[in-house]
Structure 1
Amino acid sequence: MKSLYSIQIEYSPVYECIASFYAYVHQKEAKSFHLDSDWREKTKQMLPPSFAAELEDERWEVLHRIVLLAAQSPRKETVGEFLDWLGSLPAGEMYERMAPWVDSIPLNLADIRDRSLLLLSRWNEHYFSRQEETVLACLKKSAGYFQERSNSVEAPVLIDEATNGIWIEPTASLKRVVLIPQAHCTPATILDFYRGMATVLYPVIDGGIVKQDPLRQLLTITQCLADEKRLIILQTLARNMCTLGELQAAVGLAKSTVHHHVTALRRAGLIRAHYTDGSTIQGYSIRDAVFAKLPHILSQSIHGGGNER
């Protein structure tokens, strides 16, 4: 029997420090983020040359398990406080904290912890600690907004609103979802599932890193709509929810090409991706409410006006 999972709205600068590190290290993915085109080069100039060179070759995934530990940490008012806590965490306790959620845990947890601690400490020192307070204030404000919204809407709807189109289905095994604002990886959502738990780092616009831009929003949407195959995908989803394979059959393209199209449509907020107990998308549906807002988005882009939320 399905049960509605609980949702926790959480703000902490720790998550943004991790997200900013992720945005810098993963250069291929960063091309789709809404950072300024010269953000990485400017950031590189802030780093000691030896550290910058080290990050060019960095292949170890720092984000996944650190976010899980951050979600459980009792000390994360500041990045320094969290790193102190992480550094004092025995490998045995790290294992106990991860064991309920993770299928496979590396044996060299102490080495992974020390490596994570070194990387994030240096990243915080040379980059993240120098960020303007307006960035963190924007994230905190967003968390407050969705905390208030959580009193009037159900958890899946709230997540859909925050992520601009990710729907996490209630299941018997999913107990808790942690919803966390982040800016550096906008418009992407960083989604991880564990046993009975999921962390969702959703994108926030209008701060010191990524600023609200109605014209960019309109361009993103109109570029999606100016493609025949994407229009066919939208028409197909307007009739009913579909899997990637069903959409592939409808448009007659390779699965990788269809995946590219639906990713663009999802990030534009035009369609919804459905998840069930894991990071694999189970299907897609249309977000009719976004199309109802198109006249307003067009008017705002042409005539200007105040920002929303």
Structure 2
Amino acid sequence: MKYKVSVDVSVVYECLSSFMIYVTKKWTDNLDIGPSFMQDLDQRLPEEVKSKLNEARNCPFLDFDVLYALIMLRDPHMDDQPAAFLDWLDSTPVEELYSRLITYMPVLSQDELQRVIDTYPALMRLWYHHYFQEAEHEYRLLLEEDAQEKSILLSKMEPESLVEYATGGVILDNLPVTSVILFPGVHFRPINTYCFYENLLLIQYPVDVPEDNEDDPPMVLLRMTDALAHPERLRLLRFVAHEPKTVGEIGKHLALSDERLLHHLVILRAAGLLRSHVDTTDENGRFSLRPDGAAELQMFLESYMRLT
């Protein structure tokens, strides 16, 4: 199915993403920020703040799909500020918010939405005050600059090619959607996140943070060299070089446990060396070699060596 691609950008997405990582306590082993993100915040945040934020751990995980959708459907005239968004949630009748959401989340009840509105604005204000606001300006500049670049490419690339480029290898196969919205994120780098809605897919793609010292190799180059430093990962790339393979096929060919295979897949995807074929008919998806990955490795290596 053909789909239309658009690019959205808001620092509110980033505030929610950082909040989500902290309160769910997931993914950090696979993120650039690493487990130290949690450890540093647990030391810095007051006990009463941590206690309040931990209340969100007992809420349904799908609440975050609702919150991302509300950001996507935010009032276009309000300031791009987390506080403005949260004020908008508090001041807008739940019936109006529900009417915006129901097209994209038809199984959501108004009572469920009311619970989300009653729960999260206060927690996100705490998060903003005690963590996010101090780096908001830096994130905003990174996000807006990257989104501007991707917006320019909208008129120069086919939709499928732009999605693959922005996400570092996501291929959308047979998805029943007519719209794909891309938005940049920093905290979740180097992975992509997805929110599947009725007839629409919202994808967060990673934006790298510039190195503090220009003599340091860029993180994107380190991901690639690390990914290629293991024989099992090289054999995996060779196996998927000519056609997409399922997780089961890869695991059987390489005689790897599910846990070890997933570890390798995450590293290769983060390095931009694997394509991930997203298909609603296959829960685990398929993977294939990303040809642009080898070219990008040479480009980043030559750039760091100052050969170009």
Q: Same fold (TM over 0.5)?
A: yes
Kindly tell me the number of residue pairs found equivalent between the two proteins: 301
Partner of 2:220: helix, strand, or coil?
Answer: helix
Distance 2:231 2:106 in 1: 42
TM normalised by structure 2 equals: 0.87
How far apart are 1:266 and its partner, in Å?
0.8
Distance in 2 separating the partners of 1:279 and 1:94 = 33
Q: Is the 8 A contact 1:193 1:279 kept in 2?
A: no
1:174–1:277: 8 Å Cα contact kept in structure 2? no
Aligned to 1:150: 154
CA distance in structure 2 between the aligned counterparts of 1:156 and 1:279, rounded to whole angstroms: 19
Task: Select which of 203, 207, 219 maps to 2:222.
Answer: 219
**Are the counterparts in 1 of residues 185 and 204 from structure 2 also a CA contact under 8 Å?**
yes
Partner of 1:165: 169
Please tell me the residue identity of whatever aligns with 1:21: F
The aligned residue for residue 63 of structure 1 is 64
User: Once the 2 structures are TM-superposed, how far is the Cα of residue 48 of structure 1 from its aligned partner?
Assistant: 3.3
Bigger shift: 28-37 or 232-241?
A: 28-37
Q: Structure 1: how far apart are the matches of 2:211 and 2:116?
A: 32
Distance, in Å, in 1 between the alignment partners of 2:31 and 2:115 is 31
* CA 1:183–1:215: 2 relative to 1, 3 Å: closer
Distance 1:72 1:212 in 2: 42
Offset from partner CA, 1:254-307 (integer Å, 9 cap, x none): 334322222221111100101135894531111111112323333444x3699x
Cα shift readout 1:181-202 (whole Å, capped 9, x = no counterpart): 1101111211111111111111
Paired residues for 1:82-93 under 5 Å: 82-93=85-96
Tell me which moved more, 176-185 or 124-133.
Answer: 124-133
Q: In structure 1, how many angstroms separate the alpha carbons of the residues matched to 2:92 and 2:281?
A: 28
Please tell me whether the aligned partners of residues 6 and 154 of structure 2 are also in contact (alpha carbons under 8 angstroms). Answer: no
Stretches of structure 2 lacking an aligned partner (at least 5 in a row): none
Shift of 1:103: 5.3
How many Å separate the matches in 2 of 1:9 and 1:170?
Answer: 21
1:291 equivalent in structure 2: 294
CA distance, structure 2, for counterparts of residue 168 and residue 258 of structure 1: 22
Counterparts of 1:198 and 1:235 in 2: how far apart (Å)? Answer: 31
Where 1:161 maps in the other structure, the secondary structure is: helix
Q: Which residue of 2 aligns with 1:179?
A: 182
Partner of 1:110: 114
For 2:91 and 2:125, the matched residues in 1 are separated by: 14
- Residues 189, 201 of structure 1: 8 Å contact kept: yes
Change (3 A) 1:20 1:300: same
Does the 8 A contact of 2:180 with 2:201 survive in 1? yes
Deviates more, 1:14-23 or 1:103-112: 103-112
Q: Distance in 1 between matches of 2:93 and 2:132?
A: 26
Q: Distance in 2 between matches of 1:31 and 1:257?
A: 14
> For the residues of structure 1 that align with 2:215 and 2:290, how far apart are their CA atoms?
21
Tell me the SS of whatever aligns to 2:9.
coil
TM-score (norm: length of structure 1): 0.86
> Equivalents in 2 of 1:305, 1:140: separation in Å?
30
% identical equivalent positions: 27
1:236 partnered with 2:234: no
Range moving further from structure 2, 10-19 or 289-298: 289-298
Instruction: Give distance in 2, aligned partners of 1:9 and 1:153.
Output: 13
Greater alpha carbon shift after TM alignment, 138-147 vs 28-37: 28-37
Partner residue, 1:8:
6
